[in-house]
Amino acid sequence: MNAALADYEKTEMGTIQIAPEVIEVIAGLATIEVPGVAGMSGGFAGGIAELLGRKNLSKGVKVEVGQREAAIDVSVVIEYGFRIPEVAGAIQQNVKHAIESMTGLSVVQVNVHIHDVLFKGMDKAEEAENVVQRVK
């Protein structure tokens, strides 16, 4: 047995290990709960944003997990009209709280990467213009 394992990982019955993918899902869910988050970005290499779908709950989340600590990076799309610093701060707090309370790991960093802003009203207006132009 590795003596460096955290105490919470050792039980009388054996060892508890949390896969990094589990932490990614927790971070993703905690992120999309925050008001002003339109969705998760497709990735750090410039993917297309996926809006609030449950298809891939870890999309746009990258984690580094040690024995007792975790560092999280989330890439998000923000809804137009929300203050970006406030939304980002709320994401940091929500992700940190969710991971620490569910896993017992200490979250040392939550880095928020804003990849886009979603203009909900403009999309519908542009679609209406396109329909009118095709009909003429």
Residue-wise pLDDT for 19-75, tens only, equals 999 999 999 999 999 999 998 986 444 444 444 444 577 889 999 998 899 999 999
Residue-wise pLDDT for 69-94, tens only, equals 999 999 999 999 999 999 999 999 99
Residue-wise pLDDT for 93-109, tens only, equals 999 999 999 999 999 99
pLDDT class for 15, splitting at 50, 70, 90? confident
Q: Where are the domains of the chain?
A: 7-135
Kindly tell me if the per-residue pLDDT of 3 is higher than 50: no
Q: Can you identify the CATH homologous superfamily of domain 7-135?
A: Cation efflux protein, cytoplasmic domain (3.30.70.1350)
Instruction: Note the pTM of the prediction, 2 decimals.
Output: 0.74
Higher pLDDT, 47 or 136: 136
For residue 47, give both structure tokens.
Answer: 């993917």
Report the alpha-carbon distance of residue 58 to residue 14 in Å, rounded. 28
CB 63 within 8 A of CB 22: no
Report the alpha-carbon distance of residue 10 to residue 63 in Å, rounded. 23
Secondary structure (3-state) at 58: coil
